[in-house]
Structure 1
C-alpha cells in the first residue's frame, strides 16, 4: 500500500521554460542543472546559499553527466562542452556536430563520453584526447537515449525506431551484439516521453519505459525480459532512476505523478504530485533526490523516501528483479560448502554482524566479497609460500602475523545435463534425442510442455504445474520431474510413465526437509538423484527406494545413467591452481558392482564439464568447455578406464575460415555421430523457438586441418594415380578411420566380454576388425606410392593388422608387388608366416 507523501519542497526557478536536466557528482557534493537559457547552475548540497552560476555556456542545453572533477553538457547547437567542477568554469569543447545533440553519457571510468545526436552515428570520444573517436553505426535510426553498463563493457542505445541496440566495447571497434525489439516504442526525437535506459546498480539488468506505461527490466545475460513495474502510471513515463543501492526505483509520468517502487516486490510505496518532470537524480548517500521539469524548475527533495521505507536505503546493494534470479537458484552455482562454520559468499561486513549487513543478507544482496577460505582453526590446509603448512600464528608466507590469509577453492558448479537456465520466463528442462521438455513461468504457476520427435509412438502433452518443476529427464518409457524445496514444502520428485496397463502408475515422493535435487537421471531401470545433502538416491521406475548412499567426492556435480549403470560426478581434492579435481564413479546398481571408483575426469586446466551422458551403445561421454567430446574406454574394468577424444569442435571445417563464430550445445552421441544444437551470436544455451538438431562425424584431433575426401585434381598423374596433395589428404582420412574404428572395436569388445553377448554383437565386432584391416590395407597402398624409403612405415602398418588367418597379410603382399616394392613384399611374407605360426601355437 502506498504511503503518504513527505512535506513538499519548494520549486527553485533555475532556468527559463523548456528542457531542464540535472546530475549529481558521484561524491554527492554538487548538483549540476542545465536548461534552455545560457546559464548552468551548481548547487552545493547541504547549503542554503545561492547556487554558483556558469554563464559562459551555450543555450538550449538538453543533457548532462557529471564526475567529481568535471561535467559534460550537450546542446541543441551540436556542441558538447566540458566544464570544471572545482573551478565552476568552462574548460573546452569536447565535440562539435552539425545536428542537435540528444544525449551524453560518461563511461564508468570517466575516460570516454558517448554522444547521441540527430546523426545516425553515435560517437565515443576520449575525454583527455578528443582525436580518439569510436563510431557506433550499425543502427539505422537516430538515437534518443544511451547508457553505459556499470562496468563500461557495453553501451545501449534507444533509437527512434523503437529498437534497443547493444554494442560491445571490449575491442577497439565497437560491435553490435544485440538488437532488442518489442520493448520500447517508436518515439519522435523531440518528444518528452522517455525511452531512457537505467542500469540497475548491480550491473545485471536495466530498466526502460514501455508504450503501455509500464517499466520493463531486461537482463544483461541474455537480453530477455524480466520483472515489470506495472499498473502504476496512467500517463506515459517521462523519467526514471534507481536508488543508489537498487532497492527502489523512482519514475515520473505525464499523469503528473512521481512514483516510488520497491524493487523486490515491484509495488508502489509512495506517490508524489509533481507535473512535467523530465529527469530524476538520486543523491549517492543521503535520503535526498532532485528532479527537474519542463518549466525550468529544479526540486531538491529531502526525505524523498518516506520514513517507514527509508531503511531500504541503508541496505547493501540489492539484486535486480529477475523472474528467476540465477543467484538465488537452488543449485551449486551459488552454493558453497561452509568453511569453519562460515558460509562462503558472505561479506566481511556481514560476518562482523552489523544490523545493516544482516538485513542486507536476508534481502538477498549481491555478494561482492566471496573470495575467502580462512584457516581459522590452524588445521594447516592453507600452505605458505614455501609449500608448507604454516605454524600457528604465522601468515601464509611463514611469517608471524595477526591476520589470516585466505584461499578460495573453486568448486565445479552442479548442472542438470540437457537443461538450460531460465531465460526470461522460459526454460528448457530437458533436451535429448527423444524430445524436449520446457516450462513457462505464469506468475504463480508454470506451464510444462513435453514434445516428442517421433509422434507415431508418443503423443505430446502439457499440464499446469503448481509444483514449479525446475528439472526433468525424458526417455522412451517416461518423464521424470523434480522441484526445489520452498518455505516449509520439501523437494518433490514426480515420475510419469508414457504407457501403463494399470489405472495409476505415476508417483511422487518427497525428499527430507531442506534437501534439494542437484541433478537427476532416468534409465530403463532406475531413477537416480544427487542432492544438496551429498546423497545419491536410487529408486526403481515405480518409486521404490532402492539405494541411498553418500559418494566420496562432494559437493556433488551431476549424474547420468544407462540401464543398470549409474555414473555420479563430484568435486574432489583441490589442485595446485585452487580448482577442485572432478571425480566420477560408475557402478552397476543392480549387481552392486563398482566399475570405476573415484577416478579423475580428464579436463584441461580451467576447463569444466558442460554435459555428461551415455551413448546409444551405453558408453559414458562428456563434453567440456573447450568444445571437446570424449568417451570412456575400458570403463567396465576397474582402474583401466581412459578418456579418449572423439571430436574437437574448434577444429571443424565450418570454422576453418575464421568468419563463422559459433558454439555447440551437446545433446547425444548416437549412430557414431555427435548430435548437438548450433549456437550463434555468443549464445551459451538454445532458446525459443526450438532450434533444429545438427550432427557431426567424429574426428579425433590430430591436426588443425581436417581430413578431406579424396578428389581428382589437375595434379593427378597421367596414369590416373593421385598426386602428392591427394596422398596427404587420403593419409589423414585413413588415420581417422583407423583410430575411430579402433575405439569402436574396443568398446564393443568390452561389452562382449562383460555381458552375455549376442551373435549379432560378435558378428559386428568381427566386421569392425575386418574394416580396420581394410583401412590399414588402403593406408599401405598410399605408403607404397610414396617410395621405397617408406618401407619400414609400410611394414609397421602390416604388423598392426588384426587378422590371424593370414589372408589380409597375403593381400598386403599383393599390394606391395603391385607397386614394385619387392623387398617390402618379402618382409610382409615373413610377417605372415610368423603370424600364422603364432596363431597355430595359440
Structure 2
C-alpha cells in the first residue's frame, strides 16, 4: 500500500449532498451541492471556480456531454447549460417531486432524468418537445445509467429493483428486471444503489445487500465477480476507471479503495470521511471526489507508476467468469474494410472443368457389362472379379478393381466439388456487406433498413423515403438479423443461422408491435426471404419454400428441387424463386407461382444473364412485373410471364451505356416505378451504398436497340453514319419502349379481368391512349423515312400503325412526299379495315 497522500481540499459547497462530473475532455470539473450553486472548476488551475445560481433548491445531480452540462434539483427541475457560455439553454423537465439523477446519452443527444415520480424521462437536447417516458417503477427512481453504446438504459429504484430498457426506438422495451440484488434505500440516503456499466459494455457493477460490489453479465444477467470484504459499511459511490482496469469505491466507513478489476484485489486505500461522489479524470491518472461537508479533493497519481495507468488506448475486459480475455487488455474495436457476407458482387469460382477422360477415369477400363450405377449413393462396387479378362492380369484383378474404384470415387468427389464451386452464392436483394460496423439489410423503393453492430447486439433502424407514409423507428436486435425485406405496411427480418443450427424469422408491422410474430426453424439455415402486401416467403437450406400470410399462418410449403436457392422476391400473391441450375454450369433458373391459388406460371426457366456476370438484384416493378439487374448494369423485365413457355427477358436499360463518361460510376437498383428506373448512383468505384445514404435518382428507361447507341448518335450528327439519323434512332427506341410497356400493361389487365371481354372501360381507354401514342411515334418515323427516300422502310412502318386515324395521317405524309405507291397501299389498308369494322 502507498503512503496516504496529503491533499488540500477545495471548499465548493456548504454541508449536505454533493455531486461532481468531469467534462468529456477533462478540462473542466463541475460540482453541485446543497447551497444551490453550480461550481465550474478549471482543471490544473488555482483560479476561483465560476459559480452559477439557477435552481431554487438543493442540486442533486450533474452530468456532462461534449457541448453541454445538465443539472437536476430537489425543486423538480432539470436544466441544460452550454459548456462554452455557461448560459442555460432550456428547461428540460419540470415536475412536482424531486429529480435525483441525470445523465447524458453517449452521443449527447438525449438526457435521462429520474426522481421520485417513479418514471424515467428521456428528453432530446436539440428538441425538448421530443420526450420518451419509460414504464414506471413501483417506487421512486434514484439512479439512471446509459450503456456505453447508448442502446440500453438501466434505472434503479429505492425498493432495490433494477430495470434495463432497450431505447433504440421511441417505443422503449423492458429487456430485464432484476429484483432482490441491491438494497432498499430511502430517496435521500447517501448509500448508492446505482448501476455502473463497464467501459466495454459487457457487464455492469452494482452494490448488493451485503455491501459488496458485484458485476452482472450483460449476456446472462447473472452475477459474475465480487469485490468483497473491502468496506465495513454501505458504499456511497463507485466508478470504473476510463479503461476499465480499476474500480474506485467510497464507503461510509471513511475509506476510498482502488481495486484491480481482473483480480478483484485491493491495490490501494485512502482514508477520507463522508465521501459521497467519486470520478476518474478522463485523460489523467487522478481521482476526484466530494464529501458531505462540501469539500472537493483531487488525488494525483492515484495509480502507482509500477502499474498500468487508468487511461489509455486499451479497454480492459469486464471481470467475468471464464472470460477468454481475462488478464489482458483488449484493443478498442476498429472495424476496417469490407466483410462481404451478402454474396452480392462476389463472383463464383471460375475453375476449369475436368476433361471427359478425367471424369470417366476408373470407368472406361471396366467392362460396362459389370457396371452398376451408384444412383442412390449406396456405394455399389462393380463386379470386376467376375471377368478377369477386363483386368491387367488375373493375379492383380482384385487389387486393380479397388484401385479403379478408388480413382473413380476420388474423381467423383472432385466433380461434385467443381459443381458446388460453380454455383452462385445466395444473397438477399437490397442488402450490403458490413462496413465500419454498419450495413443495409434492405434497400428498395419504399425505404431502407440498416443495422449498427454493437457489443452484444445490433441496433436496427427502419427508414422511409416518403416520410408522410410512416415514421422512422428503431429497435434493439438481440438476434443479430442478417436479412430483411421491406414494404409500405411491414418489415420482415431473419437470422440465417447455419446448417444444423436454428434460424429465426421476425415479422413486424410499422408503428405497432401488437401483431408481430416470429418463427424458429430448427436445423435449417435461411437462404432468402421476401415480403409482399399479402405474403411472407422463407427459403431454407433444405430447399423448402415456406409461405405464410401476414398474420403468420402457413399457406404453402413446397420444394421444387434441391438446387440451392439464390434469392427470391414476391408481389401480392406471386412468388419468384431463383435457384442454381445444378449442373455445374453456373447458370440460374427461376420459377413463378401464385401461392394463393397454387398455380405455377413458369418452372425452371433460365435467368438470362451472361455466364461471367452476377445477378445483383431481383424485384417486382410497381406494376407487378419481375425485374432483374446484373453486374453489367443491365435492367431486364420478364414479359409474358403469366403465360407458360412464353416468358422472355427484355432489356429495358443499360446503365453503363448511358453516355455519362464516368467509368467509376455504378448504379444500385431500388425499383421500377411508373416506367422509371429508381436507383442510387455510386461514384468513385464504390459497389455498394453506405451510410449516410446518397440521394436516389430516377432514370428514364432507354432500351439498348443499337450497340454503343450514344456513339452511333454522335456519328449520325456529324454525318459519318448516314444510314441511321439521330432523330430516327431516338424514335425507334421510343417506339420499342412504348410497345413493351403497352404489352406489359395489357398482360396485367387481361390477367386481372379474365380476358378482353372483361376489361374495364378505363383499361380499354388506357390501352387505346397508349396505342395512339405509339402511332404518333410511327408517323414521325414515317416522315423521316419519306424525307430520306427510304421507301422500303416506309412500307414496313405502315404495317406498324394501330389506329385508323393514324393511317389517314400516314396517307397525307405519303402524298406530301409524292410517294404514290405508298399512298395507294395505305388506301388499301384503310378500305380493308373499314370492311372488317362493318
TM-score w.r.t. the length of structure 2 is 0.52
Determine the C-alpha separation between the residues in 2 that align with 1:594 and 1:830. 45
Alpha-carbon deviation of 1:811? 1.1
Q: Does structure 1 retain, via aligned residues, the 8 Å contact 2:335–2:435?
A: no
User: After superposition, what is the alpha-carbon deviation per residue over 1:329-382, rounded to whole angstroms, capped at 9, x for unaligned?
Assistant: 59799999xxxxxxxx9xxxxxxxxxxxxxxxxxxxxxxxx9799xxxxxxxx7
Alpha-carbon deviation of 1:771? 1.1
Determine the C-alpha separation between the residues in 1 that align with 2:837 and 2:562. 46
Tell me the residue number matched to 2:626. 620
Determine the C-alpha separation between the residues in 1 that align with 2:760 and 2:713. 37
SS in 2 for 1:666: strand
Tell me the residue number matched to 2:767. 765
SS in 1 for 2:823: helix
Tell me the residue number matched to 1:110. none
SS in 2 for 1:773: helix
2:685 is aligned with 1:682: yes
Among 564, 580, 595, the alignment partner of 1:555 is 564
When residues 710 and 641 of structure 1 are mapped into structure 2, their CA distance, relative to the original with a 3 A threshold, is closer
Tell me the residue number matched to 2:781. 779
Counterparts of 1:498-577 in structure 2 under 5 Å? 498=510, 504-511=514-521, 513-552=522-561, 554-574=563-583
2:657 is aligned with 1:654: no
Determine the C-alpha separation between the residues in 2 that align with 1:372 and 1:741. 43
Alpha-carbon deviation of 1:784? 0.6
Counterparts of 1:428-827 in structure 2 under 5 Å? 428-485=440-497, 490-498=502-510, 504-511=514-521, 513-552=522-561, 554-574=563-583, 578-655=584-661, 659-706=662-709, 728-756=725-753, 757-787=759-789, 790-803=790-803, 806-827=804-825
When residues 764 and 326 of structure 1 are mapped into structure 2, their CA distance, relative to the original with a 3 A threshold, is same
When residues 751 and 335 of structure 1 are mapped into structure 2, their CA distance, relative to the original with a 3 A threshold, is closer
Determine the C-alpha separation between the residues in 1 that align with 2:555 and 2:793. 55
When residues 838 and 454 of structure 1 are mapped into structure 2, their CA distance, relative to the original with a 3 A threshold, is same
Tell me the residue number matched to 1:83. none
User: After superposition, what is the alpha-carbon deviation per residue over 1:224-255, rounded to whole angstroms, capped at 9, x for unaligned?
Assistant: xxxxxxx9xx99xxxxxxxxxxxxxxxxx999
Q: Does structure 2 retain, via aligned residues, the 8 Å contact 1:496–1:505?
A: yes
Determine the C-alpha separation between the residues in 2 that align with 1:620 and 1:443. 39
Alpha-carbon deviation of 1:798? 0.4
Structure 2 unaligned blocks of 5 or more: 1-241, 245-261, 263-281, 284-307, 318-322, 367-391, 393-402, 754-758
Alpha-carbon deviation of 1:426? 0.4
User: After superposition, what is the alpha-carbon deviation per residue over 1:766-823, rounded to whole angstroms, capped at 9, x for unaligned?
Assistant: 1111111111111000001102xx11210100011123xx322111010111122222
Determine the C-alpha separation between the residues in 2 that align with 1:596 and 1:418. 24
Quote the RMSD (CA, aligned, Å): 4.5
Q: Does structure 2 retain, via aligned residues, the 8 Å contact 1:324–1:425?
A: no
User: After superposition, what is the alpha-carbon deviation per residue over 1:404-458, rounded to whole angstroms, capped at 9, x for unaligned?
Assistant: 4434120011010111111131010111111111000111011111111222221
User: After superposition, what is the alpha-carbon deviation per residue over 1:466-523, rounded to whole angstroms, capped at 9, x for unaligned?
Assistant: 11111111111111111133899732211111256xx821111111x23122111111
When residues 514 and 386 of structure 1 are mapped into structure 2, their CA distance, relative to the original with a 3 A threshold, is closer
Q: Does structure 1 retain, via aligned residues, the 8 Å contact 2:668–2:679?
A: yes
Q: Does structure 2 retain, via aligned residues, the 8 Å contact 1:572–1:583?
A: yes
Tell me the residue number matched to 1:384. 356
Q: Does structure 1 retain, via aligned residues, the 8 Å contact 2:500–2:525?
A: no
Determine the C-alpha separation between the residues in 2 that align with 1:389 and 1:807. 72
When residues 714 and 735 of structure 1 are mapped into structure 2, their CA distance, relative to the original with a 3 A threshold, is closer
Determine the C-alpha separation between the residues in 2 that align with 1:532 and 1:835. 58
Determine the C-alpha separation between the residues in 1 that align with 2:636 and 2:478. 39
Q: What is the number of equivalent residue pairs in this alignment?
A: 483
Structure 1 unaligned blocks of 5 or more: 1-211, 215-230, 236-252, 272-319, 337-344, 346-369, 374-381, 717-722
When residues 779 and 389 of structure 1 are mapped into structure 2, their CA distance, relative to the original with a 3 A threshold, is farther
SS in 1 for 2:791: helix
Q: Does structure 1 retain, via aligned residues, the 8 Å contact 2:498–2:525?
A: no
Determine the C-alpha separation between the residues in 2 that align with 1:420 and 1:828. 56
User: After superposition, what is the alpha-carbon deviation per residue over 1:660-706, rounded to whole angstroms, capped at 9, x for unaligned?
Assistant: 42111111011111111112222211111111111211111122444
When residues 473 and 715 of structure 1 are mapped into structure 2, their CA distance, relative to the original with a 3 A threshold, is closer
Tell me the residue number matched to 2:387. none
Q: Does structure 2 retain, via aligned residues, the 8 Å contact 1:415–1:558?
A: yes
When residues 486 and 441 of structure 1 are mapped into structure 2, their CA distance, relative to the original with a 3 A threshold, is farther
When residues 388 and 750 of structure 1 are mapped into structure 2, their CA distance, relative to the original with a 3 A threshold, is farther
Counterparts of 1:320-399 in structure 2 under 5 Å? 326=339, 384-385=356-357, 391=363
Determine the C-alpha separation between the residues in 2 that align with 1:486 and 1:475. 26
SS in 2 for 1:622: strand
When residues 820 and 330 of structure 1 are mapped into structure 2, their CA distance, relative to the original with a 3 A threshold, is closer
User: After superposition, what is the alpha-carbon deviation per residue over 1:597-655, rounded to whole angstroms, capped at 9, x for unaligned?
Assistant: 11111111222211000001000000011111000010000111000000111211213
When residues 809 and 505 of structure 1 are mapped into structure 2, their CA distance, relative to the original with a 3 A threshold, is same
Determine the C-alpha separation between the residues in 1 that align with 2:710 and 2:781. 14
Q: Does structure 1 retain, via aligned residues, the 8 Å contact 2:528–2:540?
A: yes
SS in 1 for 2:768: helix
SS in 2 for 1:742: helix
User: After superposition, what is the alpha-carbon deviation per residue over 1:523-567, rounded to whole angstroms, capped at 9, x for unaligned?
Assistant: 111000111121111010011111111122611111000011000
Q: Does structure 2 retain, via aligned residues, the 8 Å contact 1:587–1:595?
A: yes
When residues 254 and 483 of structure 1 are mapped into structure 2, their CA distance, relative to the original with a 3 A threshold, is same
SS in 2 for 1:744: helix
Alpha-carbon deviation of 1:833? 2.5
When residues 488 and 532 of structure 1 are mapped into structure 2, their CA distance, relative to the original with a 3 A threshold, is closer
SS in 2 for 1:416: coil
